[in-house]
Amino acid sequence: MLRRLVPLASRGASAAPFSSAATTEAAQEKKPTIWKIDEKTRDKLANFGRYAAQCLPKFVQQVQFAAGDELELLIHPTGVVPVLSFLKGNHSAQFTNLTFICGVDVPARQNRFEVVYSLFSVRFNARIRVRTYTDEVAPIESATPVFKGANWFEREVYDMYGVWFNNHPDLRRILTDYGFEGHPFRKDFPLSGYNEVRYDPELKRIVYEPSELAQEFRKFDLESPWEQFPAFRNESMAAAYEKIELNPTEKK
């Protein structure tokens, strides 16, 4: 196992076989559950991200890597249909599989909702995420003309967050109860909801009543006094997203 490592002479370090670099690499090889980032596929994805930004300059605001290996395209909300049909149709992209559409609620932002489309290319075994933003009122163009499978995903985003989709064939609630008011996944919607349902034996039917919790909501402080991630002591919190430079040489 040690023979596979870089020869010690080229490293110029001490010849001790149990130097820290050797042990971490050996430890990495013993952890098959940790994802190994393949540099070649990462470069290919970075190239594709730059190519997509070059092909769609009107809509692509930023291209980044999340978690080292996952390509993300951040686009303007008016560009949902052109970008998705480009990704599906282009011969060097062929992201024909829509994996999921989901929403994100960040109430502090001006456009609080984010809509995330995840695509997969069977031909090239590659994944990409497309993210747009909107606020509570502005609608987003539906992706159903491009991907038929977007139907129920968009219904779910509408039901849970309240994001309206234009030109959707059948936009209505999908997970909440008939006549349910409110959008449950929003951050200002309480955990146990506003109404509760119970069976009333006198009226012999179910009744909806404002929820009454037996105890006040308790917020526990579950932080442990010991440091949790000693290996990540010096990492910055924003290190997860690495922006891809679109024009690396020209701007300088």
Partner 1 sequence: LEMSSLGNRLLSFRSLSTSSRLPMYNNPYIARFKERSLVSDGHHKKSTGLTGLFVNEHPHRSLSVVYSRILKALGQMPKDYAYRTFTEQIVKRRLALVQTETNIQELEQKIGMGQIEEVIEQAEYELEACRSIVESKAWEPLVEEAPKNQWTWPIA
Residues that bind partner 1 (CB under 8 A): 51, 54-62, 74, 76, 78-79, 81-82, 85-86, 88-92, 94, 96, 106, 108-111, 123, 133, 146, 237-238, 240-241
23 vs 111 by CB, closer to partner 1: 111
Question: Closest separation between CB of residue 55 and partner 1, Å?
Answer: 4
79 vs 103 by CB, closer to partner 1: 79
Question: Closest separation between CB of residue 113 and partner 1, Å?
Answer: 11
11 vs 123 by CB, closer to partner 1: 123
21 vs 106 by CB, closer to partner 1: 106
Instruction: For residues 38 and 8, give the distance between their C-alpha atoms in angstroms, rounded to a whole number.
Output: 24
Q: Are 97 and 121 in contact (CB under 8 A)?
A: yes
107 vs 225 by CB, closer to partner 1: 107
Cα–Cα distances (Å) from 169 to 53, 118, 150, 153, 209, in that order, read: 30, 21, 11, 13, 34
Q: Which of 96, 91, 52, 94 lies closest to 74, judged by CA?
A: 52
Question: Closest separation between CB of residue 171 and partner 1, Å?
Answer: 21
Question: Closest separation between CB of residue 127 and partner 1, Å?
Answer: 18
